[in-house]
């Protein structure tokens, strides 16, 4: 009898286990569809299904009282500036969260988990991630906030093998620190093998037959035609589908623009001012969540925002902290062009949270950060965003910094921007490249103009201990920068108490740096490695033209072919830094690592050697179209036109070591890089 009872009890226990497993697998995606991988998953966006099915929490109360208030998971607003509005906190060992995902491609992935502990915590929290019940990460540990902003850091695990198709992820909390396991913000999955084929960004134009209209005198019950337009931006944002455009008629719109749908690779969704009309989106009195914008593109793809006037974000509200003008997060293939952004509490334009293939072109940003106390920038790209093009923008008269690239961004081009009168009352930087706490690399900063800044000019740094490497500063013009630190350089600054600030493989080549209060180029970071200073003009900079601090190892600095005597500018008082025919800068440079075009996009060299400084004397544009077999510079497919097809060829080979114009290597240097892009850009349409 006892034996039968034991057998019966065993069967009951097995049935209980099986039904428990079955129940755990019935959770459903929070958004209605599985989260895509590669991509970002907010930790608070766990599945639907409730306690024991979608999650397990040790109590039934949402102790943070935010977001999913009917669930027992503890959710609060995050203080982490790395994106996302909420975080899961008050965590304890034994709890778990489950997510339905769809993996696009079989391959090897990396996981980046944004997590942290408050600074007074002792010990470390421990957790792991399971895929379909299998631990794929091993033990991950949360750290205190000693060296990291707001107590947060990033935990990275590589070599995770995933197969294409649907899966269940389970984030399992294993061990408490003194105050729980830690706060959890988001998970980022990137594919590392096979490397993904890039999809080029295109500039889409409105297509007749797919155009709708919004006007202040319209009605959302109208069909959205020119004669019978809609009234609100919200109507358009909710209605547009791939391939459709909304022309916004002149007027003031006191509402947010938040696109609901994505476009696709061949059919973008376009939000555009009606040609020739002034469209104003005014945020006065509109409550905007932290880390979001008056125009907010989150988790969307193939979108264009064009020609709009965006003002007063964070004005006349209870709390405007981290209220942006235009914000792009967790998005890809987005174009922000031709907009005017002004009087913004925090960032004017913010590209964040692993956004990719973003173009920010020909915008004007002014009076940003008016309410900010955190030293933010007017136009910024942050937190693992990549394949970014920031060009032709005018950024000026802001409280803090101008253009910033920080916190693990990579494959970024910043060129032909004008940045001036920044740091009003706060002595801030015009263009700042800062790794912060992450690995940041492959950044080209070229042909920008920086002037009349109360703070520094163009600076590279690693404030939080992340490695900054492979950065090129070329053909930039920096003048009349007023602060005592200098025009361009590498700084050892810290705001995180990090003991280390690694910076390596930085090139300063063919820049013109004139009349700056704190010196021409200043390098005082003792951890720098492999720094090249070549072909630059440093002239009439107060306190010195080339200032290398004694703490910097001399063996790590290469400086040659720089000019510190009178370069004979055409007219320095009128800020014309082209060279006179008698200039000692002519033919005085080196060809090593030098750009093959100058600030104006003209070919180097024009004479027997490369000139020093941002301009090449006597250079001409690439040859005009002639009926010869010689291909044009920038014409990758040799069809006689320099157009978007050639750009796509360049883009698909960017950062690859291949040779020849047919691969986008227009200067035949053996590497497809930003110089090749500028050759294409300056000949586009020819």
Residue 145 has pLDDT above 70, yes or no: no
Taking 90 as the threshold, does the pLDDT of residue 677 lie above it? Answer: no
The CA distance from 412 to 477, in Å, is 19
Domains of the chain are: 25-193 (2.60.120.260), 197-372 (2.160.20.10)
Would you state the structure tokens that stand for residue 73, as one six-digit string? 């998971």
Instruction: Check residue 49 and give its pLDDT.
Output: 96
Judge whether 388 and 350 are in contact, CB under 8 Å.
no
pLDDT at 685: 56
Tell me whether the omega of the peptide bond preceding residue 242 falls within 30 degrees of 0, making it cis: no
Spatial CA neighbour of 376 closest among 291, 482, 493: 291
What is the mean pLDDT of the segment spanning 504-508?
A: 98
For residue 136, the 8-state DSSP code is -
How far is it, in rounded angstroms, from Cα 440 to Cα 434? 8
Q: Is the pLDDT of residue 590 over 60?
A: yes
pLDDT confidence of residue 482 = 78
Give the mean model confidence (pLDDT) for residues 556-576: 97
> Of the ranges 97-101, 119-123, 381-385, which one carries the lowest mean pLDDT score?
119-123
Query: Binning pLDDT at 50, 70 and 90, where does residue 337 land?
Result: very high
CA distance 26 to 49: 7
Q: 421-445 as b/e, with b when 16 or more CB fall inside 10 Å?
A: bbbbeebbbbbbbbbbbbbbbbbbb
Residue 81 has pLDDT above 90, yes or no: no
Q: Provide mean pLDDT across the span 482-490.
A: 84
Phi, psi of 133 (to 5 degrees): 85, 0
Q: Tell whether the model's pLDDT for residue 642 goes beyond 90.
A: no
Whose structure tokens read 């990460």? Answer: 137
In the beta sheet, which residues pair with residue 431? 403, 458
Residue 17 has pLDDT above 60, yes or no: no
Q: What is this structure's pTM?
A: 0.87
Tell me what pLDDT residue 472 has.
98
Average pLDDT over residues 291-309: 97
Q: Residue 311 and residue 282: Cα distance in Å, rounded?
A: 5
Q: Which range, of 267-281, 407-421, 609-623, averages the lowest pLDDT? A: 609-623
pLDDT tens digits, residue range 367-426?
999 987 766 899 999 999 999 999 999 999 999 999 999 999 999 999 999 999 998 767
Q: Is the pLDDT of residue 6 over 80?
A: no
- The reported pLDDT for the residue numbered 117 is 84
Q: Is the predicted pLDDT of residue 628 greater than 50, yes or no?
A: no
Q: Are strands 165-175 and 96-103 parallel, antiparallel or unpaired?
A: antiparallel
Residue-level length of the chain = 686
Model pLDDT for residues 194-226, shown as the tens digit of each residue: 988 888 899 999 999 999 999 999 999 999 999
Q: What is the pLDDT of residue 643?
A: 59
Average pLDDT over residues 7-11: 40
CB atoms within 10 A of CB 134: 8
Tell me which residue of 451, 396, 405, 456 sits closest to 426, measured CA to CA. Answer: 456
Residue 544 vs residues 481, 510, 617: alpha-carbon distances, Å: 14, 18, 26
Q: Quick one: pLDDT at residue 424?
A: 75
Q: Residue 372: what pLDDT?
A: 78
pLDDT tens-digit map of 439-452: 999 999 999 999 99
Confidence class for position 317, pLDDT limits 50, 70, 90: very high
Query: What is the rounded average pLDDT of the residues 461-487?
Result: 92
Contact 465, 440 (CB under 8 A): no
Q: In this model, does residue 660 exceed pLDDT 60?
A: yes
Average pLDDT, stretch 451-463?
A: 93
Percent of the chain with pLDDT over 90: 76
For residue 669, name the pLDDT band (cuts at 50, 70, 90): confident
Cα 581 to Cα 616: distance, rounded to the nearest angstrom: 11
Q: What is the mean pLDDT of the chain?
A: 90
State how far the Cα of 186 lies from the Cα of 644, in Å rounded to an integer: 36
581, pLDDT greater than 50:
yes
pLDDT exceeds cutoff 90 at 19: no
Q: For residue 639, name the pLDDT band (cuts at 50, 70, 90).
A: low
């Amino acid at each position: 009898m006892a034996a039968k009872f034991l057998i019966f009890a065993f069967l009951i226990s097995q049935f209980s286990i099986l039904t428990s497993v079955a129940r755990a697998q019935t959770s459903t995606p929070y958004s209605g569809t599985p989260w895509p991988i590669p991509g970002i998953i907010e930790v608070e966006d766990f599945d639907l299904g409730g306690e024991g099915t979608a999650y397990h929490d040790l109590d039934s109360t949402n102790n943070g009282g935010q977001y999913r208030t009917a669930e027992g998971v503890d959710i609060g607003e995050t203080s982490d500036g790395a994106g996302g509005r909420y975080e899961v906190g008050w965590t304890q060992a034994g709890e778990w969260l489950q997510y339905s995902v769809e993996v696009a491609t079989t391959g090897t992935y990396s996981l980046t988990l944004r997590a942290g502990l408050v600074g007074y915590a002792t010990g470390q929290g421990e957790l792991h991630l399971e895929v379909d019940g299998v631990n794929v990460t091993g033990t991950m540990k949360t750290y205190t906030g000693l060296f990291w902003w707001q107590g947060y850091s990033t935990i990275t695990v590589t070599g995770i093998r995933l197969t294409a198709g649907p899966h269940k992820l389970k984030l399992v909390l294993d061990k408490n620190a003194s105050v729980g396991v830690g706060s959890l913000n988001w998970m980022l999955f990137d594919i590392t093998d096979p490397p993904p084929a890039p999809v080029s960004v295109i500039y889409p134009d409105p297509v007749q037959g797919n155009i709708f209209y919004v006007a202040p005198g319209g009605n959302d019950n109208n069909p959205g035609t020119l004669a019978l337009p809609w009234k609100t931006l919200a109507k358009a944002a909710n209605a547009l589908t791939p391939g459709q455009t909304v022309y916004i008629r002149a007027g003031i719109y006191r509402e947010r623009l938040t696109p609901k749908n994505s476009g696709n690779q061949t059919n973008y969704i376009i939000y555009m001012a009606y040609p020739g009309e002034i469209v104003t989106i005014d945020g006065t009195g509109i409550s905007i969540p932290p880390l979001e914008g008056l125009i907010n593109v989150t988790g969307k793809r193939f979108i264009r925002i064009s020609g709009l006037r965006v003002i007063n974000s964070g004005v006349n509200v209870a709390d405007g902290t981290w209220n942006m003008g235009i914000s792009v997060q967790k998005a890809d293939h987005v174009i922000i062009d031709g907009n005017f952004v002004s009087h913004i509490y925090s960032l004017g334009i913010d590209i964040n949270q692993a956004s990719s293939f973003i173009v920010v072109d020909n915008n004007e940003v002014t009076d940003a950060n008016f309410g900010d106390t955190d030293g933010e920038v007017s136009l910024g790209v942050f937190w693992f965003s990549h394949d970014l093009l920031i060009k032709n923008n005018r950024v000026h008269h802001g409280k803090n910094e101008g253009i910033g690239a920080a916190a693990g961004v990579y494959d970024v081009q910043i060129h032909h921007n004008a940045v001036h009168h920044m740091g009003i009352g706060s002595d801030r930087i015009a263009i700042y490249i800062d790794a912060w706490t992450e690995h940041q690399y492959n950044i080209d900063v070229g042909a920008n103009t920086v002037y009349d800044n109360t703070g520094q000019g163009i600076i590279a740094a690693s404030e939080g201990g992340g490695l900054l490497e492979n950065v090129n500063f070329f053909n930039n013009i920096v003048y009349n920068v007023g602060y005592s630190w200098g025009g361009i350089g590498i700084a050892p600054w810290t705001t995180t108490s990090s003991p280390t600030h690694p910076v390596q493989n930085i090139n300063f080549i063919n820049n013109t740096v004139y009349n700056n209060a704190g010196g021409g180029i200043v390098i005082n970071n003792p951890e720098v490695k492999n720094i090249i200073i070549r072909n630059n003009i440093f002239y009439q900079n107060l306190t010195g033209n080339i200032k290398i601090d004694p703490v910097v190892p001399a063996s790590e600095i290469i400086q040659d072919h720089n000019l510190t005597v009178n370069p004979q500018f055409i007219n320095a008082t009128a800020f014309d830094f082209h060279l006179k025919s008698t200039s000692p800068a002519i033919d005085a440079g080196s060809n090593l690592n030098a750009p093959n075009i100058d600030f104006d996009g003209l070919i180097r060299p024009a004479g027997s050697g490369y000139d020093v400084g941002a301009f090449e004397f006597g250079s001409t544009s690439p040859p005009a179209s002639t009926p010869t077999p010689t291909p044009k510079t920038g014409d990758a497919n040799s069809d006689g036109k320099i157009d978007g097809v050639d750009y796509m060829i360049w883009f698909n080979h960017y950062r690859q070591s291949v040779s020849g114009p047919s691969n986008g290597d227009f200067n035949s240097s053996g590497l497809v890089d930003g110089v090749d892009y500028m050759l294409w850009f300056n000949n586009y349409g020819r």
